[in-house]
């Protein structure tokens, strides 16, 4: 199956509030084809999530799949699934700083603070209600993708001094913790 073009930061569609999908729209064969194309585009990129605005469609539709296990980053395997018209609720007040990339901000990575735990209510691709309770990396993916539906890109939430090309991240920061990186790039204190 062919893949779709991923729009990049600066495209106005990434700054719009996406509109909800109706049950009738979700049932259309064209919407189901779009879901399959988004899945294949996400996998080809490769990425762990893709929101419809990232392929130029201002609708509340997200696909997610993460096949990586990394206990150090609270990352567990998440099978492919679809979220339609999601609402996200932060659970607790604990946040985690971690590097994030974005398919619509290609070639860059940055430290973004995110809530450790969230709850998401949405519809699946069949229009059935689903509730997801997530923590760690999966919670981060959900927040990142649902932000796209609200016109928010990860650079809006980043610690701006940590912005790095992916090449420089691999060269200088790959093994560093978020705390170590933030300390290394902090502004020097002015002389008293």
Confirm whether 145 is a catalytic residue: yes
8 A C-beta contact, residue 112 and residue 145 = no
For Cα atoms 155, 11, 151, give the angle at the middle one, nearest 5 degrees: 55
Do the beta carbons of residue 75 and residue 61 sit within 8 Å?
Answer: no
In 3D, which of 50, 177, 162 has the Cα closest to residue 112? 162
Distance CA 39, CA 26 (A): 16
Q: What are phi and psi of 126, to 5 degrees?
A: -100, 5
- Is residue 36 a contact partner of residue 76, using CB atoms and an 8 Å limit? no
Whose CA is closest to 163, among 180, 177, 182?
182
Catalytic, out of 121, 133, 145, 180: 145
Task: Judge contact between 122 and 86, C-beta under 8 A.
Answer: yes
Q: Catalytic residue numbers?
A: 145
């Amino acid at each position: 199956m062919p893949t779709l073009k991923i729009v990049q930061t600066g495209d106005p569609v990434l700054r719009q509030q996406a509109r909800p999908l109706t049950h009738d729209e979700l049932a259309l064969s064209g919407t189901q084809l779009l879901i399959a194309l988004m899945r294949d585009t996400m996998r080809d990129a490769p990425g762990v999530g893709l929101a419809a605005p990232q392929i130029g469609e201002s609708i509340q539709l997200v696909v997610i799949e993460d096949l990586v296990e990394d206990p150090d980053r609270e990352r567990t395997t998440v099978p492919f699934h679809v979220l339609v018209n999601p609402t996200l609720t932060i659970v607790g007040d604990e946040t985690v700083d971690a590097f994030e990339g974005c398919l619509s901000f290609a070639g860059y990575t940055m430290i973004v603070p995110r809530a450790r735990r969230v709850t998401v209510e949405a519809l699946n691709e069949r229009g059935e209600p689903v509730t997801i309770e997530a923590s760690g990396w999966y919670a981060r993916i959900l927040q990142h993708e649902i932000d796209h539906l609200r016109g928010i890109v990860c650079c809006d939430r980043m610690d701006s001094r940590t912005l790095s090309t992916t090449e420089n991240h691999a060269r200088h920061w790959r093994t560093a913790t978020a705390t170590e990186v933030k300390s290394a790039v902090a502004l020097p204190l002015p002389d008293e």
